[in-house]
Structure 1
Amino acid sequence: MTQPVLIAGAGPVGLMLAYELGLAGVPAVVLERAATPPAPEQSRGMAVNGAVVELLEQRGLMDAIRPFGMSFPRAHFGHIWLDPTTVGQRHPFNFAVPHALLQRVLEERAVKLGAQVRRDAEVVGVRQDADGVEADVVGADGARATVRGAYLVGCDGAGSRVRALAGIGFSGADVPFLGILADVRVEPGDPMFAQIGVNQYQNGICTVAPIGPQALRVMTGEFDTEPGVESAPVPPEDFAAAYARITGTALTGHPVRLSYWTTATRLADQYRTGRVFLAGDAAHVHFPLGGQALSTGLEDAVNLGWKLAAAHGGWAPPGLLDTYHGERHPVGARACRTTSAQTALMHPMSRVAPLREIFAELTAFPDVNAYLVNMVGGLDVRYPAESGGELVGRRLADVPLTTGAGSTSVAKLLTSGLGVLLDLGAGVTLPDGFDDRIDAVSAEPSDEIPASAVLLRPDGRVAWASPATAGGLAGNGLAEAAGQWFGKSMMVGVAA
């Protein structure tokens, strides 16, 4: 099949998907409504949580992003602070970087792998048949065109046109909430610097983050208040009034860029209908807290990318594409549920303040702190597994490894986008006929990996694991797992 995969939306999720497809040699065409990419100063999001850091390390992308941001060793649940440094995860806390810079890096890498990014191209029509999908696109000048592909993935945001055209419901509720985002020019020593961080007040929330030596990103939010129209301009005096209502202090800086932001909690009824898929905000939206939206969306892309590549290449086992909904829809539902739980702790303060005090006391217990850090960091996701032990369905941590060729790590083994059979002393070998889909690597045993061998899917999830003391049973189930996730052996039907 030579038709490309069509992707609607050139945000981080759509571009991550294009990159994943490029790793597998699958052509991708990204259709983006906007004529130009956003500038870094236009980024609304800054938080990249632990799960995203793991994904980016896994694909060798983090080194390109690290110079533009910084580690942020804090985490919170409903603006109740947690301690991620005690959890023991390799990436337990956030990295702060404008999402537009992340988007730029992903686009550069995807294009290098052959992806086409067509801007000023809005999807306005979708038709699918047994062999592919057609997308009607229109530009700002009204010119129309039809693009055909093998599959279409809607990564086009909360107002997804692809989702609507595919007839997929978006269940949930809008919440009355007035949010205003402002970039504020300040002088050195301005009192607003004392408010840097996430601040919960009686009348709402106010987050302040530095974006330059004399500039702050300020986001205010008031619950049970009629929202603004996101496309409408925000009068500076309205922002100043909101800031004063929430913080009880006067705005001292000068706002230079203002916009409304709203929130809703919604989940697509299904992530797939035929050859049309949804990912990112097109599939799930919720209150923005700690980078969970970006994390959930990028995980969608990495989960779906290799499965589409398998189907495109003709080696996907039966039902592989259906596992995308089966694995990711519950994760989207959980993100909606956990963020709703956090907002329930944030208002109205006159009623929830005692609950917040008790909850803060509970977070002092190490197990509670660890549970919540892993939850908000997206580090606790495990896909359903019928058998295979505790590791199966989880992402294997980025553990350092020693091989005959020298030092490496779990993440470095996954940068190619192939599956990996990692032998840690069990003496297992890769079943014949999977060399084009699975790399076989032998390494010294690691105390951090409770197994003598593991089979990793291209997304870094464990598909099979042999117990650390398996003895002669070390290879039991390996061939079945390889067939379940990587299709038929290329040796099937070949004469001996």
Structure 2
Amino acid sequence: MTLALTNVDTGVSIIGAGPVGSLLAGILAHNGVDVTLFDKEHNTLEGPRAMTVNARTAQILDIFDLRENLLSSPPMFHGHYGHTKVDLSTVDTPWPGMWKIQQQDLNNELLIWAIESGARLIRAAKLTNLSTNLDGYVEAEFEGAAKSAASRIVVGCDGEHSSVRSMTGLGEEVSSGHRRFITANLRASHLPTFRFEKFSEGAVVSTGRIDEETYRIMMHLPAYVPSLSTTEDIERAWKMITGVPLQGKVQSWGLQTDRNQLATSFNSSRVLLAGDAAHSQLPVGGCALNYGIEDAFSLAWRIALCLKTDTLDLFDDYSTERKFAAHRMQKFVRNQTEDLYGERPSVERTDATDVESKPNNFAEFLSGVDIDYSSCGTKASTLLHSAEITGDTQQRKLKDAQRTFSYCIPSSGEIDKPLDFAQNEEAHRLLPTGNEEISKAELTVRPDGYLISGM
């Protein structure tokens, strides 16, 4: 239900009711956190957005019993890294493969789940100012359906042109792009099959079927194609590039560039960023959506712990880890972009993290399970491999621990009783931000599924 309130007091304010904000709100509300979603739009945005979710997103959705309903179509067991076809079937994950679902459909279902779980939604509320009062609460001011909100934590999930990022002074590192792309959804009975087909003067066209009546087209526009502002312009551009008329009706479309944007930091005290507000890039392989979903899952348990203990240390860890992951992902996206649309680059390395510009394992990267935080300094490493947990009982215990923001210790194939880090002194000893070291032989699984140790 959409509300209209003058002044709102809430534990957590989430700015932006897209899929990332909606999932974050739902996870928090599911665990009893008082959370309110604010969005400047009256309705969910339509358009040619992401249409693929990976194995890691499927795993996150499954933890909250959302996977079976949302990902009802059979998975695809192959993907592409640039021009390279990749087998996804053997990746060590509970749910290998990729699934087709249009982002707006995923968004709507996650929003319904968030509201049913207890989150409030206020639409037509445009953020105009953020400040922190003497009591440490973050005060947000709005135009429209809400006037103000006071909350202990604010999360900006408000997209590439984030008002939260701008108002908080969280800067951005920008890698300028020089390519133009048009993406459109088209209602048609048949289109020619193009898989990044190259035409004259650098033009590239790709087509794919969304459902029985809808296609997705993506065109890399060469310099000779003029600026586009109408559906008729898109039809003309298609004919200029391919030499044949576009058979069908354009339903929605959007323009992108290969520009990368990365926030200088993903947090400032009690204000945080997730999704496109923190990192944006050309939408290759659904990276923007899937990494945003991982942001939400990585952040939710930290917010809940902060609300219980009033400590902000884990927010610094969130920023460090997720910026590392986003920087790495953007390198890989740029590498694929050059492979598909231009000259293939030489192997580059990041300034601070010494990560090569191509993943070691294409299938694990496309599945979202190849991140290793060992070099970040947060004591986290990799995801717990599904092969290390055997039997339905142990899988269920691990899933319950992640669902309820609990740490747990896998020992000899067993999952010990989940640890409540907000109440248990022994559990606090194992916090990754503490000074005490954990035994090198003892590994703890965080609520987001990543392993931590004292090493």
Fold conserved between structures, TM > 0.5:
yes
Aligned to 2:320: 326
Deviates more, 1:215-224 or 1:405-414: 405-414
- Cα-to-partner distance string for 1:365-410 (whole Å, 9 max, x where unaligned): xxx9971222233221122379999xx521223456337x697474
- The question of 1:110 aligning with 2:106 is answered no
Find the aligned partners of 2:384 and 2:235 in 1 and give their Cα distance: 47
One of 259, 267, 273 as aligned partner of 1:264:
259
- The question of 1:306 aligning with 2:306 is answered no
Are the equivalent residues in 2 in contact too, given 1:79–1:199 (CA < 8 A)? no
Q: Which amino acid in the other structure matches residue 220 of structure 2?
A: G
Aligned to 1:167: 169
- TM-aligned CA deviation for residue 43 of structure 1: 4.7
Are the equivalent residues in 1 in contact too, given 2:332–2:359 (CA < 8 A)? no
The alignment's TM-score, normalised by the length of structure 2, stands at 0.81
- The question of 1:375 aligning with 2:380 is answered no
- The question of 1:64 aligning with 2:69 is answered yes
Find the aligned partners of 1:434 and 1:328 in 2 and give their Cα distance: 23
2:408 aligned counterpart, secondary structure:
strand
- The question of 1:20 aligning with 2:24 is answered no
Are the equivalent residues in 1 in contact too, given 2:394–2:414 (CA < 8 A)? no
Find the aligned partners of 2:297 and 2:32 in 1 and give their Cα distance: 15
- The question of 1:151 aligning with 2:153 is answered yes
Aligned to 2:37: 30
Aligned to 1:401: 390
Find the aligned partners of 1:159 and 1:218 in 2 and give their Cα distance: 25
Aligned residue pairs, count: 421
Find the aligned partners of 2:421 and 2:36 in 1 and give their Cα distance: 31
2:182 aligned counterpart, secondary structure:
strand
Find the aligned partners of 1:434 and 1:185 in 2 and give their Cα distance: 52
Aligned to 2:188: 186
- The question of 1:456 aligning with 2:437 is answered no
1:311 aligned counterpart, secondary structure:
helix
Q: Kindly tell me: are residues 434 and 11 of structure 1, through their superposed partners in 2, closer, same or farther at Cα, counting changes over 3 Å?
A: closer
Are the equivalent residues in 2 in contact too, given 1:177–1:222 (CA < 8 A)? yes
Q: Which amino acid in the other structure matches residue 290 of structure 1?
A: G
Q: Kindly tell me: are residues 369 and 269 of structure 1, through their superposed partners in 2, closer, same or farther at Cα, counting changes over 3 Å?
A: closer
- The question of 1:10 aligning with 2:6 is answered no
- The question of 1:234 aligning with 2:234 is answered no
Are the equivalent residues in 1 in contact too, given 2:406–2:420 (CA < 8 A)? no
Q: Which amino acid in the other structure matches residue 274 of structure 2?
A: A
- TM-aligned CA deviation for residue 112 of structure 1: 2.2
Find the aligned partners of 1:261 and 1:406 in 2 and give their Cα distance: 44
- TM-aligned CA deviation for residue 276 of structure 1: 1.1
The alignment's TM-score, normalised by the length of structure 1, stands at 0.75
Q: Kindly tell me: are residues 155 and 220 of structure 1, through their superposed partners in 2, closer, same or farther at Cα, counting changes over 3 Å?
A: same
Aligned to 1:342: 336
Find the aligned partners of 1:54 and 1:207 in 2 and give their Cα distance: 29
Q: Kindly tell me: are residues 208 and 388 of structure 1, through their superposed partners in 2, closer, same or farther at Cα, counting changes over 3 Å?
A: closer
| Residues 243-258 of structure 1 aligned to structure 2 (within 5 Å) | 243-258=238-253
Q: Kindly tell me: are residues 438 and 207 of structure 1, through their superposed partners in 2, closer, same or farther at Cα, counting changes over 3 Å?
A: farther
Find the aligned partners of 1:83 and 1:172 in 2 and give their Cα distance: 33
Are the equivalent residues in 2 in contact too, given 1:92–1:374 (CA < 8 A)? no
Aligned to 1:219: 218
- TM-aligned CA deviation for residue 269 of structure 1: 0.7
Aligned to 1:494: none
- Cα-to-partner distance string for 1:248-302 (whole Å, 9 max, x where unaligned): 5442333343433344201111111121111110011111111111121111111
Find the aligned partners of 1:17 and 1:452 in 2 and give their Cα distance: 33
Aligned to 2:142: 137
Q: Which amino acid in the other structure matches residue 340 of structure 2?
A: M
- TM-aligned CA deviation for residue 452 of structure 1: 9.0
Q: Kindly tell me: are residues 246 and 417 of structure 1, through their superposed partners in 2, closer, same or farther at Cα, counting changes over 3 Å?
A: farther
1:138 aligned counterpart, secondary structure:
strand
Q: Which amino acid in the other structure matches residue 364 of structure 2?
A: N
Aligned to 2:275: 280
Q: Kindly tell me: are residues 178 and 406 of structure 1, through their superposed partners in 2, closer, same or farther at Cα, counting changes over 3 Å?
A: closer
User: Percent of aligned pairs with the same residue?
Assistant: 25
- The question of 1:421 aligning with 2:409 is answered yes
1:333 aligned counterpart, secondary structure:
helix
Are the equivalent residues in 2 in contact too, given 1:47–1:96 (CA < 8 A)? yes
Find the aligned partners of 2:337 and 2:87 in 1 and give their Cα distance: 20
Find the aligned partners of 1:165 and 1:385 in 2 and give their Cα distance: 31
- TM-aligned CA deviation for residue 214 of structure 1: 2.7
- TM-aligned CA deviation for residue 54 of structure 1: 2.2
2:340 aligned counterpart, secondary structure:
coil
Find the aligned partners of 1:6 and 1:199 in 2 and give their Cα distance: 45
Deviates more, 1:84-93 or 1:270-279: 84-93
Q: Kindly tell me: are residues 55 and 201 of structure 1, through their superposed partners in 2, closer, same or farther at Cα, counting changes over 3 Å?
A: farther
Find the aligned partners of 1:428 and 1:110 in 2 and give their Cα distance: 30
Are the equivalent residues in 1 in contact too, given 2:390–2:413 (CA < 8 A)? no
Are the equivalent residues in 2 in contact too, given 1:425–1:452 (CA < 8 A)? no
- TM-aligned CA deviation for residue 223 of structure 1: 5.4
Greater Cα radius of gyration, structure 1 or 2: 1
Structure 1, unmatched stretches of 5+, are 357-367, 440-450, 465-476, 482-496
Aligned to 1:54: 59
1:420 aligned counterpart, secondary structure:
coil
- TM-aligned CA deviation for residue 162 of structure 1: 0.8
1:168 aligned counterpart, secondary structure:
coil
- TM-aligned CA deviation for residue 422 of structure 1: 3.3
Q: Which amino acid in the other structure matches residue 122 of structure 2?
A: R
